[in-house]
Amino acid sequence: MGARKDKKMEAVKVTCLKKAFPGPLGPEEMEDVLKGVSFTLKEGSFTALTGSSGSGKTTLLHLLAGFLTADSGTICLLGRQLQGMSPKEAAIFRRRHVSMVFQEAALIPSLTVEENIVLPLVMDTGRLLDQDRLVRILDALALSGKLGRYPAELSGGERQRCVFARALFSDAELILADEPAARLDTRQSLELMGALKECAHTWHRTVLMATHNLDLAQICDRELEIRDGVIHFL
């Protein structure tokens, strides 16, 4: 399961990242959202990204995931500088190493839970299904009895856990999650947080999770708050 206890490295190193968007009057008046964001995330850590609505949480996750390009600053993921890569190289690197989980659990409705979890990795790498790895992930996320179910037959919490199971089953060392618990009730949110924290620690996955919910942020190993375009370490 890719456990590398011997090497505690920085999974993410962001330096002086800036991003502005066109304001209401258009590109002549740009609005600075990120004004020089710098932080590091240790491998195997579970970090909450908080901040008021519009503070730039999604923007930051999208920069890390490669959906957006920064105006300036650097992003180093798993020891690799993204700026030095060609767009194709960066896309392949991210597909293999970074997984993004959205608020809306994105599952393919016509595939079972098992197929949703294993197909992306099996199709991408041609690797045979690692049953043992699958069983351990399903256990950790309390999905063992749901393998043959379709997404429509799951609760919201189970669907969201299934998306994380897919991210964990892939080789992605870095998991970016944007408000993954927003549609879950308190009990489901707490269960998801507990499972994510354990998975991060056990399998050395680095999780950065944007959330409005300060109770959930407390469960994480660490909290970063975006305020006035920069990171505050709480």
Ligand X SMILES: Nc1ncnc2c1ncn2[C@@H]1O[C@H](COP(=O)(O)OP(=O)(O)OP(=O)(O)O)[C@@H](O)[C@H]1O
- The binding site for ligand X (CB under 6 A) comprises 21-22, 33, 51, 53-59, 212
User: In a 3-state reduction of DSSP, which class is residue 54?
Assistant: coil
- State which residue, 44 or 229, has the beta carbon closest to ligand X: 229
- State which residue, 2 or 23, has the beta carbon closest to ligand X: 23
Question: At its nearest, how many Å lie between ligand X and the CB of residue 49?
Answer: 9
- State which residue, 33 or 75, has the beta carbon closest to ligand X: 33
Spatial separation of the C-alpha atoms in residues 183 and 192, rounded to whole Å: 12
55 binds, among Mg ion, ligand X, none (CB under 5 to 8 A by kind): ligand X
Q: Is residue 58 a contact residue for Mg ion (CB under 5 A)?
A: yes
86 binds, among Mg ion, ligand X, none (CB under 5 to 8 A by kind): none
Q: What does each C-alpha distance from 126 to 67, 98, 169, 202, 228 come to in angstroms?
A: 26, 19, 14, 26, 45
Number of helices and strands in the chain (H, E): 7, 10
Question: At its nearest, how many Å lie between ligand X and the CB of residue 53?
Answer: 3
Cβ burial, residue 25 (10 Å; 0-12/13-18/19+): exposed
User: In a 3-state reduction of DSSP, which class is residue 168?
Assistant: helix
Question: At its nearest, how many Å lie between ligand X and the CB of residue 12?
Answer: 17
Q: Which residues of this protein are in contact with Mg ion, per CB under 5 A?
A: 57-58
